[in-house]
Amino acid sequence: MVKKIIIKTKDRRPKTEDQKLLRKKYFSFKAFFLWSFIFGLIFCSSCAKSLYESKFVAAGTYLEIKSPYKEAGSIVYAEFKRLEKIFNFYDPGSELSRLNGKSGVPVKVSAELLEVLRLAKQVNEMTNGAFDVSYGRLYEYWKERIKKGGLEFPQESEIAALKEVGGMNNIEINEAEGTVLIKKKGLKIDLGAIADGYMVDKAVMKLKKKGIDSALINVGGDIYCLGTNRGKPWRIGIKNPEEIQNVMQSEQLFDEAIATSGNYEQYFDYKGKRYSHLISPRTGFPVSDTMVSVSVITKNCTSADSLSTAFFVMGLAEIRSFIAAGPSTMRIFVITQDEEGRHMHILK
């Protein structure tokens, strides 16, 4: 018998202030599994020993843990709640919000915030600016616009003005002093495309310290498969989101992560054309509608999370060039759309 667990594309909805409403939606059994089923499947081999399942709301989205260890869920949830106080862009009391409120002076930050910013800079450099956490104001602007939908496109001058209040060169990290300096007034850092993956990795480290060697953590579609699923690799199915019964590719994961970025969960239609909620930091506008989704499998969730976003911005041709530049253990699955339909491209 095959047990089905769900992959969901990355949820980058703004973190709502009304957590009671979010919890009400989450703990509706029907709503949760409908939410999950639309966007993919993870297949787990059936064995005699059952898996414990824990479900929470954390980091403004859904958190699911499956493990043969009963205590795994509470360990992961506690770590997420700790780190959420650091990275939450929408919580005025978070460490990130306090940093965003200061400019012109070095600010002492936690080791976790310093590390994520350092990693974000690395991804920015290796993807030639396809990933950029410095455009928080730009992303915030588009999130509000997409929520309303059907609006006229902004003028290029308006987007250019928002892009002026950004740029990774305006974030200075001093690792020796443990400080971050925002050099441009008004710049806001948004870590939504990397922090969830980082929190998954930190939670995995907590599990390992507790002697737990088997678990699956899924936060809004960022997934890590720790060890085996009762002696066998975790199996995942990458699906065409509009063809629920069609598994386009099946993969086995052992101590690996997968993250997916796509345009089919959050989008808006304007003059008969669909636009993604994923904004290119290079142009300041939504990414081309030829890209449907990008899934990345790699050794850690921080990389899978950030690179799935960057690759979506880059497009298929640039992803191919990126892979050709050097050896990699990544597996990348790109779904594109053209006049003939949808196609999956597998890059290894």
> Using one digit for the tens of pLDDT, what is the confidence trace for 191-203?
999 999 999 999 9
| Predicted pLDDT of residue 248 | 74
| Predicted pLDDT of residue 245 | 59
Quick one: tokens of 156? 């290029």
One-letter amino acid at 239 equals K
How confident is residue 34, by pLDDT bands cut at 50, 70 and 90? very low
pLDDT digits (tens, 9 = 90+) for 293-322: 999 999 999 999 999 999 999 999 999 999
| Predicted pLDDT of residue 288 | 74
How many residues are present in the chain?
348
Q: Pick the residue with more confidence: 323 or 150?
A: 323
**Structural contact between residues 297 and 256, judged by C-beta atoms closer than 8 angstroms:** yes
| Predicted pLDDT of residue 242 | 64
Q: Given a cut of 70, is residue 240 above it in pLDDT?
A: no
End-to-end CA distance of the chain: 30
- Strands in 41-45's sheet, in edge-to-edge order, are 2-5, 41-45, 234-239, 247-253
Quick one: tokens of 261? 């970025």
Q: What percent of the chain has pLDDT over 70?
A: 80
Q: Given a cut of 50, is residue 17 above it in pLDDT?
A: no
Q: Which residues contact 21 (CB under 8 A, 6 or more apart)?
A: none
Average pLDDT over residues 152-178: 95
Q: Given a cut of 50, is residue 43 above it in pLDDT?
A: no
Averaged confidence pLDDT in the chain: 84
Q: Pick the residue with more confidence: 1 or 104?
A: 104
Q: Given a cut of 50, is residue 4 above it in pLDDT?
A: no
Q: Given a cut of 90, is residue 253 above it in pLDDT?
A: yes
Average pLDDT over residues 173-177: 97
Q: Given a cut of 70, is residue 30 above it in pLDDT?
A: no
Distance CA 122, CA 200 (A): 19
Q: Superfamily assignment of 90-182 in CATH? A: ApbE-like superfamily (1.10.3980.10)
Instruction: Determine the distance from the C-alpha atom of residue 236 to the mean position of all C-alpha atoms in its chain, rounded to a whole number.
Output: 17
Q: Torsions phi, psi of 215, nearest 5?
A: -170, 155
Average pLDDT over residues 203-219: 97
pLDDT digits (tens, 9 = 90+) for 51-69: 999 999 998 899 999 999 9
Q: Given a cut of 50, is residue 2 above it in pLDDT?
A: no
Highest average pLDDT, of 136-145, 198-207, 258-267, comes from 198-207
How confident is residue 343, by pLDDT bands cut at 50, 70 and 90? confident
How confident is residue 265, by pLDDT bands cut at 50, 70 and 90? low
Pairing of strands 41-45, 52-58: unpaired
Q: Pick the residue with more confidence: 186 or 1?
A: 186
| Predicted pLDDT of residue 45 | 42
**Structural contact between residues 329 and 299, judged by C-beta atoms closer than 8 angstroms:** yes
Q: Pick the residue with more confidence: 283 or 48?
A: 283
| Predicted pLDDT of residue 250 | 80
Average pLDDT over residues 40-48: 42
Q: Is 87 helix (H, G, I), strand (E, B) or coil?
A: helix
